[in-house]
Amino acid sequence: MTIDAPAKVNLTLRVLGRRLDGFHDIETLMAPLDLADRLEVDLKDSPGVDFSCSDASLPMDGSNLVCKAVSAFSHAIGRDFGVRIHLEKNIPHGAGLGGGSSDAAAVLKALNELLGVGFSVEKLENLAASIGSDVPFFIRCVPAICRGRGERIEPVAGIRGAEILLVKPPFPLSTAWAYGAWAAAPKSNATFAPMFGSIPMVNDLEAPVFSKHLQLPVLKRWLAAQPGVVAAMMSGSGSTVFAVLDGAGEDLGGRVREEFGKSFFVWRCRIAA
pLDDT digits (tens, 9 = 90+) for 21-49: 778 889 999 999 999 999 999 999 999 99
pLDDT digits (tens, 9 = 90+) for 5-26: 999 999 999 999 888 777 888 9
Bond into 239 cis (ω within 30):
yes
| Candidates 37, 103, 134, 204; catalytic one | 134
The percentage of the chain sitting over the pLDDT mark of 90, rounded to a whole number, equals 80
User: Where does the pLDDT of residue 61 fall: very low under 50, low under 70, confident under 90, or very high at 90 and above?
Assistant: confident
Instruction: Walk me through the domains of the chain, giving residue ranges and CATH numbers.
Output: 2-155 (3.30.230.10), 163-270 (3.30.70.890)
pLDDT digits (tens, 9 = 90+) for 262-272: 999 999 999 99
- Assess whether 134 carries a catalytic annotation: yes
Percentages of the chain per state (helix, strand, coil), in multiples of 5:
30, 35, 40
- Assess whether 123 carries a catalytic annotation: no
| Candidates 8, 89, 168, 220; catalytic one | 8
pLDDT given at position 134: 94
User: Where does the pLDDT of residue 256 fall: very low under 50, low under 70, confident under 90, or very high at 90 and above?
Assistant: very high
Determine the average pLDDT of the residues in 247-259.
Answer: 85
CB-CB neighbours of 224 under 10 Å: 16
Closest by CA to 121, choosing from 138, 140, 134, 96, is: 140
Please say if the pLDDT value at position 164 is more than 90.
yes
Please say if the pLDDT value at position 248 is more than 70.
no
d(CA 3, CA 131): 19
pLDDT digits (tens, 9 = 90+) for 175-229: 999 999 998 887 665 556 777 777 889 999 999 999 999 999 999 999 999 999 9
